[in-house]
Amino acid sequence: MAAFTAKDVQRLRQHTGAGMMDAKQALTDADGDFDAAAKLLQERGLASTAKRSGRESGDGAVAVGVADGVAALVELRCETDFVAKSADFVNLAQDLADLVAAKGEDAVAERAGEIDSLKVSLKENIQLGRVVRFEAAPGNVLDTYLHVQQDRGVNAVAVELEGGGKELAHDIALHIAFARPAHLTRDEFPPDVVEEQRALFETMSRNEGKPEQALPKIVEGRLSGFFKATPGGALLEQGFSRDDKTSIQQLLGSARVVRFAQIVIGE
């Protein structure tokens, strides 16, 4: 008979999040060895989380990590907002973002065990989501923005500017968070998407009884509106969120957006 006490069972439950009977059985199977019992519970828990792996992880948290000249965005996904706003979940997302900023995108592998442990303790399908890392070129400016809702990040942005200052970079980051552009310029949209929109606008215009000779100009006008749309348009063509009569291209002046990234939970 394994030698352990009720306090040992309680301690193991607190350490692993396991139920009382599961903790007691693990200690029995491990002959009272606490570390071995914890490992057994993890192994058994991971076996059960494999059954949960097919469940949709449509919620989660996103965190921003910043180091010298580096910005990182990391998404940690789960099934419910209850888990997404829990302290352990949010803290791990932040730890992962800091790690990526400091050491690179592959560094997340160092914390795979902690993700697995959360699957056990929180009893949900938890997965690493999108990971982005920007290392600014010499002289360029980086800025980030994180929108927090219900105690966890839900909308994260990183932007790199050439020839602009920190305040301008921050204005652009805030705009991206609000306007959610799909691409930097219209040229980056897949040709099939553009042609699909063009055909749609042509059909709409014909159905509205527009003159045939005017269709090309009308369609191009509507296509320009598509590229300016918020959300989903081209960043440089969108109207600035604080002054929609000024495009982002105009706001930039001689500065240039080198790249941007955005992660929104649920998208």
Helix H or strand E segment including 159: strand 152-162
In order of their start, the domains of the chain are 6-52 (1.10.8.10), 59-181+232-264 (3.30.479.20), 186-228 (1.10.286.20)
The DSSP annotation for 175-230 comes to HHHHH--SBSSGGGS-HHHHHHHHHHHHHHHHHTT--GGGHHHHHHHHHHHHHH-T
Instruction: Place 18 in a pLDDT band, splitting at 50, 70 and 90.
Output: low
Residue pLDDT, tens place only, 101-149 = 999 999 998 988 898 888 888 888 888 999 999 999 999 999 999 999 9
pLDDT digits (tens, 9 = 90+) for 231-260: 899 999 999 999 989 999 999 999 999 999
Rounded mean pLDDT of 211-233? 92
